[in-house]
Structure 1
Amino acid sequence: MISHLAISGYRSLRDIRVPLGRLTIVTGANGSGKSSLYRALRLLADVAQGRLIQSLAREGGMPSTLWAGPERISREMRAGRTPIQGTVRSGPVGLRLGFAGDDLGYAIDLGLPLPDAAFPLDPEIKVEALWSGGVLGRSNLFAERRGRMVRLRRASTGEWRTGFEDLPPFDSMVTSFSDHEDGLELLQMRERMRHWRFYDHLRTDLDAPARRPQVPTYTPALANDGSDLAAAIQTILAMGDAAAFRSAIEDAFPGASVEGEEGSVVMRQRGLLRPLRAGELSDGTLRYILLCTALLAPSRPPILVLNEPEASLHPSLLVPLASLLTTASERCQIVVVSHSEPLVAALAGHAAARIVRLDKDCGETVFHGDDDHSFRWVWPSR
C-alpha cells in the first residue's frame, strides 16, 4: 500500500506531500489542484508503461506543466506584505514525482533538455531512485539512475554494480532493466505500477461503449471506458463476489437486479414486466452500475483511482456509493477525487477513510487534514 505521495514542480503543486490510506478522498474547491494530483498519479503509472513523454506532450510539453510561481513563497509574500516575485534559484528547474509505502519507495526527477535539443519540449530524466522502507537514505537505496547511468546494489553482497552506462534520457530505468537477480525489486515495482487502475471517463451518453452489445468473454477487470461492462458483470457473478455486487445494486435500487446476458447489460426492477437493457437505462443508473463493476472486479489492482465518480448520480445514490467504496477498500487501496461534499460527509465517518482537503494559497496547492504534515520525505539529489 502507498502511504505517501510526493509531488514537486507540477502545475499548482509546487511542493506537496499527501498521506494516503486504504480509502483516501481528495476534495476541494474548483481549481484547488485536485485534477493536478490525479494527473500526477497517472504520470507515475505512465512511467511503468513507457508513456511518460507522450503523456506530458498531451499536456503541452514539459514547460507548460511546470510550476509557474517562484521557487519559494515567503511568509511575507503569503501575508501580502511583499509582492510575489522570483528570486535567485537555489536548485535546478524540475518536475519531481514520488511515492513510498511500507516496503518500497520510488522517485523520479524530470528536467529540461539542453537548449540545442532536437525536442525542446520533451523532459529528460535526470535522476531516479528505488529504495526499501518509507524514507530514502544511503543504507536502503538499492537502485539509482543519474543521468544516463544506472547502478544496482547486489542483493547478495550489498556491493554496487553498473546496470546501464548509456540509458537514453527519455527511458526510465523501471521499464528498461530486466535483471531477475539484482534488479528483482525493479521488476516488482514495474509490475505493481503497471497494474494501477484509473477510471475518469466512464461515458454514459447514448453512444457510450457500455450501452453497446458485446461479445461475452472472461473479463476480470472493467475497461477504462466501460466498453466490456456486460462481460465484466457476468464475470463477477460467475467467478467473483456476486453477493457484494448484488448487495450494492440492492442498496441503490431496492428490489432490482443486474446481470450480463448475451453480451448486454440487463436490469430487472420490481413492477416492470420486462427487463431493461443498457440502452434504456438513465445516465445515473448506468454510471452506478459501471462503478459497482469497476470496484468489485475479481482482479484486484494495487491501487484504484476514481476521478469524480459522483458525476451524473442523483444525491440519493451518494450514500450507497459511499458504502460501495468502503466495501471495495477492503480489497484494494482506493483514491477518490471528488468535489461532492455529501459524498465526502458520507465517507468521513468510516474508519478506513482519510480526507485530504486541498486549497489554494498564492496560486499554490496546499494540503489540509488531520494527519501529521511532518512526515519526512527526501528527494534524490541530482
Structure 2
Amino acid sequence: MAKIEGIRIKNFRSLKDVTLGRLWNQQKSEPLTPMTVVIGKNGVGKSTLFDVFGFLADALKVGVEEACDSRGRGGFKKIRSQGQSGAIEFEIYYKEDGNARPITYEIFINIDESGRPFVQKERLRQRRKNQTRGWPFSFLVLNDGKGVVWKGEGKNIDEDKKEFDLNDFLKSLVEEESKETEIVELSDKRKLGIATLGSLKQHPRISAFRQFIEGWYLSYFEPNSARSLPLAGPQKHLNIKGDNIGNVVQFMEREHKARFQKVLDRIAKKIPGINKIDTDETADGRLLLRFNDKGFHDPFYAQQMSDGTLKVFAYLLLLEDPTPPPFLCIEEPENGLYHKLLETLAIEFRAHATGRKDGSQVFITTHQPYFVDALEPNEVWILEKGADGFSAIRRASDDELVKNMVAEGLPLGGLWYSDYLDAR
C-alpha cells in the first residue's frame, strides 16, 4: 500500500511554508506515521491543511483552474498566501509500497498574463537503484506544459545541477537519441501532466501515482445526506458525503457478511441497544437504512437516528471496506459524538492504519483532547498561528518534556488541555 512519508506546502492560504514528515532532501526527519493527527486552536489552519489534499485531488480530476474555484475556494488569488507573488507549491514524498524507492512529486501553480491559473512546473523524480547520494533522477519534467518523460529508468543527465535548464536538457537528449524518452507538449496547461500521461500504459510509475491520488478518500460526511433515500442497488464503497450508506450496507450484507458482522459487533459495544442494521426497500425502489434496537419491537430508520450514531456507523463501515482507499483524510471526526467514544474511535483508526497489510494511511484534524488521549507524540502535529499571521507546524515528539510525560503515563490530550503542548 502506498504511503505519504512527507509533504511540503508553500503559499497556500495561511500555509506560507510548512513541512510535515520526510522529504527527499530531509532524510534525517522522521516520516509520517500510518496515522497522523493535526491539532490546534480554531483559526490556525487545520481546515486549510485538510483542503490541501482536496485541492490536489480536484486538480487531478478537473484541472487547476476549476480546482481553485471549487468547494468555495474563491479562485487563485484567494488561496495564494496574502502578500506573496510566487507560485503555490506542493511537494509530496511517497512510497508505492514498503520496499519501493520513494518518489517525489512537485507541482507549481501560478497565473498567466490573463490571470488564469496554470501548471507552471511539474516533476516526478526517484533515486536510481543503489543511488544514495546526489539529486534523484527526474522521469517527468514539465515547464509550462512542455517537457520530457521517460518510459523506463532513463539515464542520468544534469542530475547534480540544482537548477534544471529545460533547453540544455532537451539538447542533450537529442544528441543521445535516447529511445526511452519522449518530448511532450500538453494541449492545456491547466491540466496536470500526470492526469494525461498517467493514463498511458508505457508510463507505469506515473500511472501508479495518478491512481494513488485518485484513490484518496476525503470525508465530507453529512448526516443529512446519510438520511437520504437513494435508489436501491449495492455499491462497494462509501462516497465522500455518505449518501450511499444504505447501498454499501446492501453490498456488505450480500458479499461480505463476516466483515459486516464485525461492524455490527463494534457498533453494539459503542452504542448500547443497537443489535442489527439492515436495509428495507420501498415500493418505488428507494432504500431505507434500518436500525433495530433490542429494547423496541419496531425498527428505527436513518431519518430518526442521531448525527453521532450515523457518523460512527459510517466510519466503521469505511474501515471495513474490503479494498480500502490508500489515503483516508477526515476533518474533525469528533463533531456530534459523545466524548467517551472519541478515544476508542482513535484506536479504531490506528488499528486500521497499522493492523492491515492493505490498510489506509489515515490523516485527521481535530481539536478534541479526548481523541488525542489515545495518541502517541510522534503521531501528533501541532499547528499554530505565528505573529506574521501564517501557520507553523511541529511534531509533539520533538518536545522531550512531552515525550517523557507521556512515557510516565500522562495522556497526551490532557497535556494539550493543560497547555503543555503550547510553544515555549
TM range (shorter): 0.7 to 0.9
Aligned partners of 1:299, 1:175: CA distance in 2, in Å?
23
Task: Indicate yes or no: 2:363 matched with 1:335.
Answer: yes
Relative to structure 1, the CA distance from residue 320 to residue 274 in structure 2 (aligned partners, 3 Å threshold; closer, same or farther) is farther
Q: What letter matches 2:82 in structure 1?
A: A
Relative to structure 1, the CA distance from residue 245 to residue 15 in structure 2 (aligned partners, 3 Å threshold; closer, same or farther) is same
Offset of 1:156 from its aligned partner?
A: 5.7
Offset of 1:274 from its aligned partner?
A: 2.1
Structure 2 SS opposite 1:286: helix
Matches for 1:243-262 after TM superposition, within 5 Å: 243-262=261-280
Q: What letter matches 2:389 in structure 1?
A: G
Q: Is there any run of 5+ residues in structure 1 with no aligned partner, and where?
A: 72-91, 374-382
The aligned counterpart of 2:196 is: 176
Q: What letter matches 2:216 in structure 1?
A: W
More helix by share: 2
CA contact (8 A) 1:100 1:133 kept: no
Task: Indicate yes or no: 2:235 matched with 1:219.
Answer: yes
The aligned counterpart of 2:91 is: 98
The aligned counterpart of 1:360 is: 385
Offset of 1:113 from its aligned partner?
A: 1.2
Q: Deviations over 1:40-91 (max 9, x none)?
A: 111121232134321212422211111114x6xxxxxxxxxxxxxxxxxxxx
Offset of 1:283 from its aligned partner?
A: 1.9
Matches for 1:1-382 after TM superposition, within 5 Å: 1-19=3-21, 20-58=32-70, 59-69=73-83, 93-102=86-95, 103-114=102-113, 117=114, 120=115, 122-132=116-126, 138-155=135-152, 157-158=154-155, 159=178, 161-177=181-197, 178-181=199-202, 183-200=203-220, 202-204=221-223, 208-240=224-256, 241-262=259-280, 263-329=287-353, 330=355, 331-348=359-376, 354-361=379-386, 362-370=388-396
Aligned partners of 2:154, 2:383: CA distance in 1, in Å?
45
Relative to structure 1, the CA distance from residue 325 to residue 247 in structure 2 (aligned partners, 3 Å threshold; closer, same or farther) is farther
Aligned partners of 1:68, 1:2: CA distance in 2, in Å?
28
Q: Is there any run of 5+ residues in structure 2 with no aligned partner, and where?
A: 22-31, 96-101, 156-177, 281-286, 400-424
CA contact (8 A) 2:145 2:193 kept: no
CA contact (8 A) 1:248 1:320 kept: no
Q: What letter matches 2:117 in structure 1?
A: P
Aligned partners of 1:302, 1:180: CA distance in 2, in Å?
21
Q: What letter matches 2:48 in structure 1?
A: S
Structure 2 SS opposite 1:357: strand
Structure 1 SS opposite 2:60: helix
Relative to structure 1, the CA distance from residue 136 to residue 249 in structure 2 (aligned partners, 3 Å threshold; closer, same or farther) is farther
Offset of 1:231 from its aligned partner?
A: 1.7
Aligned partners of 2:238, 2:52: CA distance in 1, in Å?
22
Aligned partners of 1:334, 1:41: CA distance in 2, in Å?
12
Aligned partners of 1:157, 1:28: CA distance in 2, in Å?
44
Q: Return the structure number with greater relative CO, CA threshold 8 A, min gap 6.
A: 1
CA contact (8 A) 1:7 1:15 kept: yes
Offset of 1:371 from its aligned partner?
A: 5.5
Offset of 1:123 from its aligned partner?
A: 1.5
Offset of 1:174 from its aligned partner?
A: 0.8
Aligned partners of 1:251, 1:131: CA distance in 2, in Å?
47
Aligned partners of 1:150, 1:319: CA distance in 2, in Å?
49
Offset of 1:342 from its aligned partner?
A: 1.1
CA contact (8 A) 2:343 2:373 kept: no
Structure 1 SS opposite 2:251: helix
Relative to structure 1, the CA distance from residue 319 to residue 166 in structure 2 (aligned partners, 3 Å threshold; closer, same or farther) is closer
Q: What letter matches 1:242 in structure 2?
A: F
Greater shift in the superposed pair: 317-326 or 275-284: 317-326
Greater shift in the superposed pair: 52-61 or 300-309: 52-61
Percent identity for Structure 1 against Structure 2: 21
Offset of 1:133 from its aligned partner?
A: 5.6
TM-score for the superposition, normalised by structure 2: 0.74
CA contact (8 A) 2:10 2:89 kept: yes
Aligned partners of 1:141, 1:243: CA distance in 2, in Å?
47
Aligned partners of 2:185, 2:229: CA distance in 1, in Å?
51
Offset of 1:33 from its aligned partner?
A: 1.0
Offset of 1:137 from its aligned partner?
A: 6.2
Greater shift in the superposed pair: 152-161 or 328-337: 152-161
